[in-house]
Every structure is written in C-alpha cells, then in structure tokens.
Amino acid sequence: MGSVRARAAAGATVVVALALIAAGTAVLLVLRGNLQDQAGLQAEVAAREVAAQIATGTPYDKLDLPDGEDHPVVVADDGGRVLAVGEDVRAVDGKPVGGVQRGPGSVGPGTQGEDDDDDDDRSGLAPGEVDGDVGHRDGTADVDGKTADYRFAVVEAKDTRGGEATVRAGAALAPEQEAVGSVRTAMLIGLPLLLVVVAGVTWLVTRRALRPVEGIRGEMAAITASTDLSRRVPVPSSQDEVGRLARTTNETLAALETSVERQRRFVADASHELRSPIASLRTQLEVGVAHPELLDVPGAVEDTVRLQRLAADLLLLARLDAGERPAEARVDLAAMVREESSQRVADRIPVQVGELAAGEVAGSRGQLARVLGNLLDNAQRHAAASVRVAVVREGEWAVLRVEDDGPGVPEGERERIFERFVRLDDARARDDGGAGLGLAIARDVAERHGGSLAVRAGSVFELRLPVAG
C-alpha cells in the first residue's frame, strides 16, 4: 500500500463494496417484504372466499376449498375443533388436522346448540357476517407429506345460525424464497466482478492522473542531481491541482534560481570590494616595513576603517538574509532623528531638522538608526548645499523623509539603486569608500520592520513604518 494508486484503488473498492452491500441488503429486504405482502394478500383472498361461503349458510362438509398445495385451508370453531380442512392438508405448524372431528350438530349451519347466543355476544359478529379484520402470520403446512412455508391469513365468520368459525388459509412462500435466493445469488456473483472493475478503473484513472506528478518528480530529481536551477518541470495543460502544483514548483525554482544567482553575485562583489582595501592596506604595510619613512598611516587607517565598515555591512546583510527578526522595542523616531543628527558634526553639509511629529514604531533602534545614517550618508554624497530630515504622520504610518538639493535619481534608476553593490556613475566618481550596500541594507531593514523605502520626486528618500499600538 505504499503507492498512491494502490491506496486510491483500495479505498474506492472498499467504499463501493460497502455501498453495494447496503444497497443489496435494502433491495433484498424490500423484495422480501413485497413478496410476503403479495402472499398475504393471496391468503386473505382465499380465507375470505371460504368465510363468505360459511356466512351464506354453506354446510362445512360442502365448502368449496382451494387446492391444498397452493392454499392450505383449515376451518375451526371457537373451541378449536376442526370443522373443515383442505384437500391433502395433514398438519399446520406441526399440529395434525387430518380426519375432521365434528361434534354434535357441527355438520351444518345452525346446529351448534344453545351456546351460540353467548358466542355471538363475545365475537361481536352478527349471523351471516364476516369479520373485517384479518390477521397474518408465517407458518408451515404439511400437504400430502410435503412440509413447506406459508403465509397464513386468519378470518372469523358466523354462519346464518350464529355458529362461529375461524378460517385459516395460507399462500406458499416458496416463490418468494426462490426470487430472493435468485437475487441474492446474482448479487454474490456480480458484486466481486463489479468490485474488480471498480478497482481496475480506479487504478487506471489514478495512474493517468498521477502521470504528470511522476514527471514533476523525475524532473526535480534531475535538477537536484545536476544542480541546474534553470530547468523547469513540465506543466500539464489541465487546470487542476496537478497543473497548479507544476506552476507553483516552477515559480519556486525561479525564486530559488534568482536567490542563488543573487548570492553568487553578492559573493563575487563582496570578494571584489574586500580585495581593494585589503590589497591597498597590504601594499602600505609592505612599503612601511621596507621604508618606514614612506608609511602612509592615515591612508592605512582609512583603508582599515573602510574594511571594517564593509565587514559590518556584510554581516548585517547575512543576518537579514537569514531571516533575523528585529527586536520588539518601541522607538521614538523624532527622538532618534534629533540624537543622530546632533552627532554628525563632521558632515560636509550640516543636516537641517524639519518637522518632527510624535510617533513610536516597533523594532530595533540600532537597525533603524543604521537606516537613517545610510540615508544621510547618501544625501551627503549627492547634495550641493542642503540636506534635510523630517518625520511626519500619515494616518497609521510614520514617515521619515531625507532629501537633498542634488541632481536627484533618474526615474529609470530608482529601483536599481536599492540593489546590492550598485553605484551610479556620478556617485562612484565622488565616493572614495562606498561599496553600494547602504541603500540595500536600508530597504531590507525597512521591509523587516513591516515598512517600505522608496525614492520620491528625484532626491527625496521616504521611509514608511507602521505606528506601534
């Protein structure tokens, strides 16, 4: 049962088997009930015919009784004495009825004696009347030495003299038993055959339905073995669950390919960016060893600081890529802007602080301060004479804006500048140490805090964060 096809076929077979068993049982019960009702009706008709003869005054030894094998009839008085019995009927329910016993005056109507008035009072029937109520029960009858099952109808009647008689007539149940047996046999033969057909059809249909899944599995195994993420699994033409699975798998492969390619570029760019300061620092140290008087200590310190900042940026990006969640502290953006701006005394252009609306956001103060610092550093590199920062409130959002009077970011480059290790030409010419990670880190931090970072109107960088609480 390790195969989905086998489990599906077995499950469908079990369900169909239970349904067929229930339906077959219901059919047999209904068929048996209907045939028993028909037998009861036949027995009732035979009993009423005999009762009608008694009510019209026909002597008991002159009654026209039906054939004993088809409808065994026994007529008895209220004391249980057999007054008439059908031909060849020997016993009913194992009690002999052959050799009719007749008491005094029991041969014909009106010869029962003086107890008839009392009987009339007990039965509630008038002379010459047949009781409208009919009783039914199942029993056996011995007709000419053959015992069989019958459905009996019991009818009471009074002759013209008030003599009370009970007519018991039966109808054979053999046809009903034969019909039920035939249907049961047909079901027992047809049920296994039908289950085999159901299992086979389910197996074939499931196999055909799962064939695309096997194709997807095979292609995924080949991709895993070859590590070629540019390959895609086959997508069936159907718009069912399997088709959606194939499309989702291809979307996952595309995202994985993009992520791996991005990681490769990141490693290559990081290696390139690290190589320059390390090579420069090594060269200066080697020169210093050979010629101490030529050692450029400020340059070595600058390269070391650049290398330190780059390592810190790479470490932060690695933590962000690993899914590190920011702390759930409350951060007052206005207070953070005042504090960070006041510490930037060595900037080329003084930072102007504009409106500072009150509002707290949830997250890491250190990471948000890093975003503000990166935005201000970017503005310092591009500004001509002015750098301005402000915090405003827009509904449930706190918006931090950093703007400068520089040439602005071309519209076609407004998304590209947030990619890692991307620097525009003018920035590269004016920047001695930037590695192109500042804006990428800023956007990643913003998104980790449930917000966004974008360029508005050329040189306005807008950080939007949800207000806490």
Q: Note the pLDDT tens digit of each residue in 314-350.
A: 788 777 777 777 777 899 999 999 999 999 888 889 9
Predicted local distance difference test score (pLDDT) of residue 426: 46
Predicted local distance difference test score (pLDDT) of residue 125: 82
Query: What's the Cα-to-Cα distance from 259 to each of 84, 253, 311, 325, 443, rounded to whole Å?
Result: 103, 10, 21, 19, 17
Predicted local distance difference test score (pLDDT) of residue 391: 93
Q: What is the 3-state secondary structure (H, E, C) of the chain?
A: CCCHHHHHHHHHHHHHHHHHHHHHHHHHHHHHHHHHHHHHHHHHHHHHHHHHHHHCCCCHHHCCCCCCCCCCEEEEECCCCEEEECCCEEEECCEECCCCCCCCCCCCCCCCCCCHHHHHHHHCCCCCCECCCCEEEEEEEEECCEEEEEEEEEEEEECCCCCEEEEEEEEECHHHHHHHHHHHHHHHHHHHHHHHHHHHHHHHHHHHHHHHHHHHHHHHHHHHHHCCCCCCCCCCCCCCHHHHHHHHHHHHHHHHHHHHHHHHHHHHHHHHHHHHHHHHHHHHHHHHHHCHHHCCHHHHHHHHHHHHHHHHHHHHHHHHHCCCCCCCEEEEHHHHHHHHHHCCCCCCCCEEEEEECCCEEEECHHHHHHHHHHHHHHHHHHCCCCEEEEEEEECCEEEEEEEECCCCCCHHHCCHHHCCCCCCHHHHHHCCCCCCCHHHHHHHHHHHCCCEEEEECCCEEEEEEEECC
Return the minimum-mean-pLDDT range out of 29-33, 239-243, 432-436: 432-436
What mean pLDDT comes out for the span 51-65?
89
- Numbered ranges of CATH 3.30.565.10 in the chain: 329-466
Residues in a beta bridge with 168: 74, 154
* pLDDT top residue among 328 and 426: 328
Predicted local distance difference test score (pLDDT) of residue 335: 92
The token pair that represents 286 in the structure block: 């080697």
Predicted local distance difference test score (pLDDT) of residue 98: 64
pLDDT at 456 over 90: no
Taken as a whole, the chain contains a residue count of 469
Predicted local distance difference test score (pLDDT) of residue 166: 92
pLDDT band at 433 (very low <50, low <70, confident <90, very high): very low
Query: What's the Cα-to-Cα distance from 202 to each of 157, 171, 210, rounded to whole Å?
Result: 64, 48, 12
What mean pLDDT comes out for the span 191-196?
90
- Cα 338 to its chain centre, rounded Å, is 55
- Cα 394 to its chain centre, rounded Å, is 42
d(CA 108, CA 126): 17
* pLDDT top residue among 258 and 117: 258
What mean pLDDT comes out for the span 434-448?
84
pLDDT at 274 over 70: yes
The token pair that represents 177 in the structure block: 């038993």
Mean pLDDT (the chain, rounded): 83
pLDDT at 154 over 90: yes
- Numbered ranges of CATH 1.10.287.130 in the chain: 241-321
Domain 329-466 - what CATH class? alpha beta
pLDDT at 400 over 90: yes
pLDDT at 430 over 70: no
Q: What CATH number labels 241-321? A: 1.10.287.130
pLDDT at 118 over 50: no
pLDDT band at 424 (very low <50, low <70, confident <90, very high): low
Q: Where are the alpha helices (DSSP H) in 56-173?
A: 116-123
pLDDT band at 387 (very low <50, low <70, confident <90, very high): very high
Where on the phi/psi map is residue 454: left (φ > 0), alpha (ψ -120 to 50), or beta?
A: beta
pLDDT band at 392 (very low <50, low <70, confident <90, very high): very high
Predicted local distance difference test score (pLDDT) of residue 1: 54
pLDDT band at 120 (very low <50, low <70, confident <90, very high): very low
What mean pLDDT comes out for the span 79-88?
87
Predicted local distance difference test score (pLDDT) of residue 121: 46
Return the minimum-mean-pLDDT range out of 89-93, 367-371, 385-389, 429-433: 429-433
d(CA 439, CA 417): 7
What whole-number percentage of the chain has pLDDT above 90? 21
Helices (H) and strands (E) in the chain, counts: 9, 14
